[in-house]
Amino acid sequence: MMVDDEPLIRKAVKMEMNSRATEVECHTGDDGATERRRVEMVETFASGPQLMAALESAEAPNYLLVDMEFQGEPTGGLLITRRLHERFPEVRIIIFSGRFDNPLPSEERRPQRIGEIGSVVMEALRLGASAFVSKNAAGGFSIENIIRAIACLERGERFYFNYPVMLTLKEAAEHYFALVGTQAAIEVSDAERQLLLLEAAGCTASEISSRLGESDKAIQEHQKDLSQRFDIVNKSAARVAKALTLGLISPADIRFLPRP
């Protein structure tokens, strides 16, 4: 199955994939037995809710192709990935996006942009994605990249990345290690990451405590602890700047509060 908000993309992928009658070798048991099975796109959907509603009565697919961006939301596909993986952990999710092909709006922002995309890839893996396929891979749009991802996963490989994504990950890793080369890597929990994103959005400690379900005092202690670990003054702006610099949060994930 496939989820993509572009009707032409959905139609093109389904038509080309099913017209080829492509087969891949699949493992059928723990004894190493294999058989060849046809790869078929059984259905496509324009949104995550459409997919989840259909799965109330339909059999879950072996693979789900998920677009990264939905209706202008750069990482909307991650929400679909998380929800599907939680409910159907046996379904292998392939992220299908053109976001990784041209990550450089300018050479000035190259390290920052590479870091942002690298963090998105790592978050997708954490939420349950198994593969990343470019919509605009070398040589243009190609069904072969999707088939290759499925074939690799069926061979027992845990992850698959096609060339543009591999290149982005390589540069993101190089950027990350260059960044932390003179300092110890800092890790934050999911709750701390949410706190930092809410601070970046403009929330006060009281608003953050309400959204995260903790007391004002507890949030202030978390903020103080983060500042100490970041080795900076205990100020919201400094924490957010440091978190962005270290790649702990991405600008694409910040949802700014509307002006009152």
Residue 167 pLDDT > 80: no
pLDDT of residue 138: 44
Residue 140 pLDDT > 90: no
pLDDT of residue 259: 64
CATH code (residue 225)? 1.10.10.10
The whole-number average pLDDT for the span 80-109 is: 81
pLDDT of residue 137: 56
Q: What is the dihedral of CA 144, 145, 149, 151, to 10 degrees?
A: 20
- Give yes or no: residues 102 and 127 share one domain: yes
pLDDT of residue 185: 64
pLDDT digits (tens, 9 = 90+) for 179-209: 555 445 678 888 999 999 999 998 988 999 9
pLDDT of residue 123: 85
In a domain, 201, yes or no: yes
Residue 132 pLDDT > 70: yes
pLDDT digits (tens, 9 = 90+) for 202-255: 898 899 999 999 999 999 999 999 999 888 888 988 899 888 878 788 887 888
In a domain, 260, yes or no: no
Of 68-72, 103-107, 163-167, 179-183, give the lowest mean pLDDT range.
179-183
In a domain, 75, yes or no: yes
% of residues, the chain, pLDDT over 90 = 33
pLDDT of residue 94: 94
In a domain, 153, yes or no: yes
- Give yes or no: residues 238 and 146 share one domain: no
- Give yes or no: residues 67 and 165 share one domain: yes
The whole-number average pLDDT for the span 142-162 is: 87
Q: What is the span of the domain harbouring residue 245?
A: 190-253
CATH code (residue 118)? 3.40.50.2300
pLDDT of residue 219: 93
